[in-house]
A = this chain, B = another copy of it.
Amino acid sequence: MLHLLAGAGEAPTVPQPMLYDNSARSHRDIAGPLLSSRTIVFHEGFARSPIYRVVDGCVATFQTLADGRRQIIDLVGPGRLIGLGASEYNRHSAETLGFTRLELLSAPLVANQFESALTETLARSQALAMLLGRKTAPERLASALLDLAEQFGRPARERKRGAVTFHLYPTRGDLADWLGLTLETVSRCLTRLKKADLIDIQRGDLVTLLDPRQLAHIAVGDQTLSH
């Protein structure tokens, strides 16, 4: 089920914060409505959205081709901003990947961190280009898991080799659309990573990186993954 949060058709000169959540229509808080999974925050080509900070949860930003092919540009976790690269209209869409709380940033608050946030977003986008253009499927998965661990991870109870555990917001299909692969290839690579004892997945969405250092080696091609 898809909910809409912001972005009517026309472009107000001053972007208007128009927050409402169909699934819980009582919410009108500027501060932070709780959005359910698969809520569209803003839509590519629509009037520029205001800028939000992800307080909790996960947001995917993505572009879509006419025939339905989708490329996820970034997965955004707590603390980071969404709605950045827009000009008059949004350059991409944004969708929540789980229960997510956003915080609307006021103009002065934004100005403060605008440049550094934009620079970081650019750096991540360029790292993604490197990944998409030149890395193999296992390298992409290793890179992705390390990134997610950094954004969503808490140190695991098991202290072995700095293991990290995190909640996996994206589905296999989301990961595929992020990493330029298919759902099946993502699944197969995760299986290989499990069999190599580099990761563990419990209950489908709880991931533990058992050996981040080795994953990092795989991520940059210093080491290959067996079949």
Contact = CB atoms under 8 A, between A and B. Distances in A.
A134 B69 contact: yes
Contacts of A125: 122, 125-126, 129
A63 B132 contact: no
How many copies of the shown chain assemble into the complex?
2
Interface in A1-23: none
Interface residues of A, number: 37
Contacts of A86: 119
A180 B133 CA distance: 4
Interface of A: 63, 65-67, 69-71, 73, 84-87, 91-92, 114-115, 118-119, 121-123, 125-130, 132-135, 177, 179-180, 220-222
Nearest to A139: B65
A119 B71 contact: no
A85 B119 contact: yes
A222 B122 CA distance: 29
A188 B212 CA distance: 40
13 contacts: A63-B126, A65-B130, A65-B220, A66-B220, A67-B221, A71-B129, A73-B126, A84-B122, A85-B119, A92-B126, A118-B119, A118-B122, A125-B125
